[in-house]
Chains A and B, each alone.
Chain A
Amino acid sequence: MLIPIELIIIAVSAILLGVIALWKRKAPARLRDVPALARLVRMLGLSVEDGTRLHISLGSGNLLDVRGGSSLAGLAMLRHIAERTSVSDSPPVASSGDPLLGLLSQDTIQAGYKAANAGELYSHTAGRVAGLSPFGYAAGAMHISQNENVSANILIGHFGAEVALLADAAERENVAIIGASDNLAGQAVLFANSQDALLGEELFSAGAYLGAGVSHLASLTLQDVFRWVIIFILLGGAAAKFAGVM
């Protein structure tokens, strides 16, 4: 019986993730400088100090399909933002364009509040479903940046080109934007609309930069390992093709 290559990749990834996580418990983390994420960390502190709100947009990704990965990355980041800013006068608000994601965002924010020993401050309106279609979501989430004393809009998840409407609304209110999407159109729009853009896999690294734990650091290391493997395979394949071997 032939074992599928996908299963081998998943099994090897899981084992490596565990091994690297154990190794990262002892070795200090060395992260490269990502200006957008350094700015995100600064914005968390500033929002608590000046009593303004952070708006975390999780996009309209569905957890039951391939867009779920970016939504889960957004939730992991939300968990730590909620923990750090829950005691602010204006606690953070998360919006999503998918009901399942909306439910999970409420659960995640509540977990962040509990971790900060501020469980009693949690309100169910902190996690919102802003709309049920991509444009409906953009229209609903624009409203939050415009009306709720928001100082920064953090967009992490699945966004298409409609994210330009959100970014434009934020810009009009002088709200800072940090964004990343797993969709190329959304990523291009966010690149043009934000001060420091997050590209590609940087979307998944926010947790590690916010100090979310060794599993996030292990994820980053594993991504780097696989990236080098893919680079060598691509270059090797190209060289073999060029030499007429393949």
Chain B
Amino acid sequence: MRVITVFIVTLSGLAILSGYFLTDLFPVLAEVQTQILNVAITLAGVAMLVGIFNLVSVHTDKVRRSQKGGVYSALLVISLLITLVLGIILRPGHVAMQAVVNGIIIPTESALMGILTISLLYAAIRLLRRRVDVMSIIFLLTAAIILFGSATLPFGDIPLLGDFARWWSQVWALGGMRGILIGVGLGALTTGLRVLFGADRPYGGS
């Protein structure tokens, strides 16, 4: 079974890659690539249903075992079922479903974004308590310079700070970002190759 799954993964991966690069030479590869992508998208859709079932199963289990936080799990399952049933009966375009999205989901995510701002500020304050090193000090100084350089201050702009912040962010910060992204790209390339050739097998339970 393991050999078959590795064979399918390698073949699909190579077909997709060939579809990107060798379609001029073998036009049929474009069609093969489209078909494989269609199957992948369909499977992703099915996986969404399985994921929702998993979510319900985990939280139902917590309620059944009366685990800590079980009340929230019960609320989650009830809300999910009500929304699902209403969505199926009324269809997503119905005014009630729009009210659920506009009145509950969007405000909740907005509130989380609000909390996020506080969390980020709190993390920056705690950074030097957690570790005092050169990198942490540079990290905090950069954040402060960029904030001060872009903020509207009541007494007007601090002379030269705006220009310095722009230079700092466009030369040093951007250079660092590119370095990190190149590293991430290299890591993704080698990880992808390991999966493509079956060295890593996050499938098949083996």
Q: Which residues of A contact B (CB under 8 A)?
A: 1, 3-4, 6-7, 9-10, 13-14, 17-18, 21, 64, 66, 68-70, 72-73, 75-76, 79, 98-100, 102-104, 106-108, 110-111, 114, 124-125, 127-133, 135-136, 138-140, 143, 146-148, 161-162, 164-165, 167-168, 171, 182, 184, 187-189, 191-193, 195-196, 199-201, 203-205, 207, 213, 215-216, 219, 222-223, 226-227, 230
B111 to chain A, nearest CB (A): 10
Query: Of A9, A168, A205, which contacts B119 at CB under 8 A?
Result: A168
Closest to A103 in B: B47
Determine if B190 and A164 form an interchain contact, defined as CB atoms under 8 angstroms apart: no
Q: B196 to chain A: which residues have CB within 8 Å?
A: 14
Q: B177 to chain A: which residues have CB within 8 Å?
A: 184
Determine if B24 and A1 form an interchain contact, defined as CB atoms under 8 angstroms apart: yes
Q: List 6 A-B contacts (CB under 8 A).
A: A13-B193, A72-B200, A135-B112, A147-B67, A191-B139, A215-B199
Within 8 Å of chain A (Cβ to Cβ): is B151? no
Q: A100 to chain B: which residues have CB within 8 Å?
A: 43-44, 47
Q: A7 to chain B: which residues have CB within 8 Å?
A: 17, 21-22
Determine if A201 and B119 form an interchain contact, defined as CB atoms under 8 angstroms apart: no
Q: A103 to chain B: which residues have CB within 8 Å?
A: 47, 50-51
The secondary-structure label for the interface of chain B is: helix
Type the 1/0 row for B169-205, where 1 means its CB is closer than 8 Å to any CB of A.
0000000010111111011111111111101111111
Determine if B55 and A128 form an interchain contact, defined as CB atoms under 8 angstroms apart: yes
Query: Of A124, A132, A138, which contacts B112 at CB under 8 A?
Result: A138
In Å, the complex CA distance between A26 and B25 comes to: 40
In Å, the complex CA distance between A7 and B190 comes to: 14
In Å, the complex CA distance between A114 and B195 comes to: 20
Determine if A132 and B191 form an interchain contact, defined as CB atoms under 8 angstroms apart: no
Q: A215 to chain B: which residues have CB within 8 Å?
A: 194, 199-200
Q: B112 to chain A: which residues have CB within 8 Å?
A: 135, 138-139, 162, 165
In Å, the complex CA distance between A226 and B122 comes to: 38
Closest to B25 in A: A1
Closest to B24 in A: A1
Q: B84 to chain A: which residues have CB within 8 Å?
A: none
Q: Which 5 A-B residue pairs are closest in the complex by CB-CB distance? A: A69-B188, A99-B51, A204-B187, A201-B183, A200-B183
Given known contacts A14-B193, A135-B113, A227 and B120 CB-to-CB distance under 8 angstroms? no
Q: A216 to chain B: which residues have CB within 8 Å?
A: 194
Determine if A164 and B184 form an interchain contact, defined as CB atoms under 8 angstroms apart: no
Given known contacts A124-B54, A130-B55, A161 and B116 CB-to-CB distance under 8 angstroms? yes
A231 to chain B, nearest CB (A): 10
Determine if B180 and A199 form an interchain contact, defined as CB atoms under 8 angstroms apart: yes
Among B27-35, B89-97, B123-131, B157-165, the stretch in contact with A:
B123-131
Given known contacts A17-B194, A184-B180, A226-B186, A164 and B51 CB-to-CB distance under 8 angstroms? no
Determine if A102 and B51 form an interchain contact, defined as CB atoms under 8 angstroms apart: yes
Number of residues of chain B lying within 8 A (CB) of chain A = 67
Within 8 Å of chain A (Cβ to Cβ): is B72? yes
Given known contacts A164-B116, A165-B119, A192-B127, A102 and B184 CB-to-CB distance under 8 angstroms? no
Starting from the known contacts A70-B184, A114-B206, A201-B186, 8 additional A-B residue pairs (CB-CB under 8 Å) come to A21-B199, A76-B194, A103-B51, A111-B206, A125-B58, A165-B116, A184-B180, A204-B188
Q: A9 to chain B: which residues have CB within 8 Å?
A: 189
Q: B202 to chain A: which residues have CB within 8 Å?
A: 72, 75-76, 79, 104, 107-108
Given known contacts A17-B190, A219-B190, A64 and B58 CB-to-CB distance under 8 angstroms? no
Within 8 Å of chain A (Cβ to Cβ): is B137? no
Determine if B61 and A146 form an interchain contact, defined as CB atoms under 8 angstroms apart: no
Determine if A69 and B194 form an interchain contact, defined as CB atoms under 8 angstroms apart: no
Determine if B191 and A219 form an interchain contact, defined as CB atoms under 8 angstroms apart: yes
Determine if A107 and B203 form an interchain contact, defined as CB atoms under 8 angstroms apart: yes
Closest to A184 in B: B177
Determine if A230 and B119 form an interchain contact, defined as CB atoms under 8 angstroms apart: no
Query: Of A104, A114, A125, A136, which contacts B57 at CB under 8 A?
Result: A125
Within 8 Å of chain A (Cβ to Cβ): is B115? yes
A193 to chain B, nearest CB (A): 5
B36-95 interface with A by 8 A CB criterion: 40-41, 43-44, 47-52, 54-55, 57-58, 61, 67-69, 72
